[in-house]
């Protein structure tokens, strides 16, 4: 693909490959998203069979994402291990505390380490990027405790950098919408259940089938669906037939009220509910 990248980005890319080579072997926590897809591709290019992709299935992980992940790994020829990691079985997780992601990532990384050791792999890596240092990410604490490396952060690669390099490498994910686990659709403190997660997945699948690109269906109070889409897609969504179809489908799924968030899609919108938590408390999770 005839895509140009500047010298600064070339240097970051070179540093990423050098760091991966220094690891010798690595098992990548692979979700199929923009970051982990790029990391798996580069790790496989550098390390070959000493790079392993590990994907965890659970009720918080949409089936469409799993199928995309499997398809990509098959295309590049890397080894892919699929494990089960059911967050709802983790004590306290379903209560949805603000440090929910810590418990999820801790279990995930523990299981990936078991897979890595069974295959003679020396390191476990995640797809955290340099921008994540400026966000509320309790899962990074688990990564630190379990000696999980973050090559994209080491190379100081931002989300924009990763998209540019993904396009440069011809990866299908270079313009893939941002993704987060289905649990992130439920406000902190509200119970997470398998039924809620299934409703969210069905609602988002329907909106994606309608052609909407960046989609979140936030689940409030057991009744209300708050739909977030990109503002550039508002015009099409507000077509009378689309509104009627979406309303009917989401009510069929089980929602009582269906709303469109006028602020549109934005990452971390659920974190607004914890904006008054002190920096001390946030640092502890």
Q: What is the pLDDT of residues 126-139, one digit of tens each?
A: 999 998 777 666 77
Residue 181 a catalytic site member? yes
Q: Which of 101, 104, 144, 181 is catalytic?
A: 181
pTM: predicted TM-score of the whole model, two decimal places: 0.87
In the chain, how long is the greatest CA-to-CA distance? 57
Statement: 7-168 belongs to CATH 3.40.50.620: yes
Q: How confident is the model at residue 118 (pLDDT cuts 50, 70, 90)?
A: very high
Confidence of residue 87 (pLDDT cuts 50, 70, 90): confident
Taking the chain, what is the end-to-end CA distance rounded to the nearest angstrom? 42
Residues 58, 87 contacting (CB under 8 angstroms): yes
The secondary structure element, H or E, covering residue 283 is helix 279-284
List pLDDT tens digits, range 53-81.
999 998 888 999 999 999 999 999 999 99
Please tell me the predicted confidence (pLDDT) of residue 244: 98
Task: Identify the weakest region by mean pLDDT among 93-107, 214-228, 264-278.
Answer: 264-278
**What local confidence, expressed as pLDDT, does residue 142 receive?**
83
Output the pLDDT for position 99: 86
CATH fold for the domain made of 182-273: GMP Synthetase; Chain A, domain 3 (3.30.300)
Count other Cβ atoms within 10 Å, centred on residue 219.
22
Question: Where in the chain do CATH 3.40.50.620 domains reside?
Answer: 7-168
Quick check: 102 and 285 in contact, CB under 8 A? yes
| Cα 25 versus chain centre, distance | 23
């Amino acid at each position: 693909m005839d895509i140009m990248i500047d010298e600064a980005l070339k240097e970051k890319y070179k540093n990423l490959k050098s760091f991966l080579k220094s690891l010798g072997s690595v098992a990548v926590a692979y979700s199929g998203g923009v970051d982990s897809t790029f990391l798996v591709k580069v790790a496989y290019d550098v390390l070959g069979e000493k790079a392993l992709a590990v994907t965890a299935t659970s009720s918080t992980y949409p089936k469409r994402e799993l199928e995309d992940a499997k398809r990509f790994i098959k295309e590049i020829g890397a080894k892919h291990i699929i494990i089960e990691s059911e967050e709802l079985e983790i004590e306290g997780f379903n209560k949805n505390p603000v440090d929910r992601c810590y418990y999820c990532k801790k279990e995930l990384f523990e299981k990936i380490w078991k897979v890595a050791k069974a295959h003679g792999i020396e390191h476990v890596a995640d797809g955290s990027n340099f921008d994540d240092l400026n966000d509320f990410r309790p899962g990074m604490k688990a990564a630190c405790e379990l000696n999980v490396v973050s090559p994209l952060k080491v190379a100081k690669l931002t989300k924009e950098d990763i998209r540019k390099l993904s396009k440069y490498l011809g990866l299908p994910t270079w313009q893939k919408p941002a993704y987060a686990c289905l649990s992130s659709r439920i406000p902190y403190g509200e119970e997470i259940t398998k039924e809620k997660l299934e409703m969210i997945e069905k609602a988002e699948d329907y909106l994606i089938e309608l052609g909407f690109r960046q989609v979140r269906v936030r689940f409030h109070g057991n009744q209300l669906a708050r739909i977030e889409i990109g503002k550039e897609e508002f015009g099409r969504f507000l077509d009378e037939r689309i509104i009627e179809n979406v309303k009917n489908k989401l009510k069929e799924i089980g929602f009582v009220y269906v709303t469109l968030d006028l602020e549109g899609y934005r990452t971390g919108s659920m974190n607004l509910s914890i904006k008054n938590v002190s920096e001390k408390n946030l640092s502890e999770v």
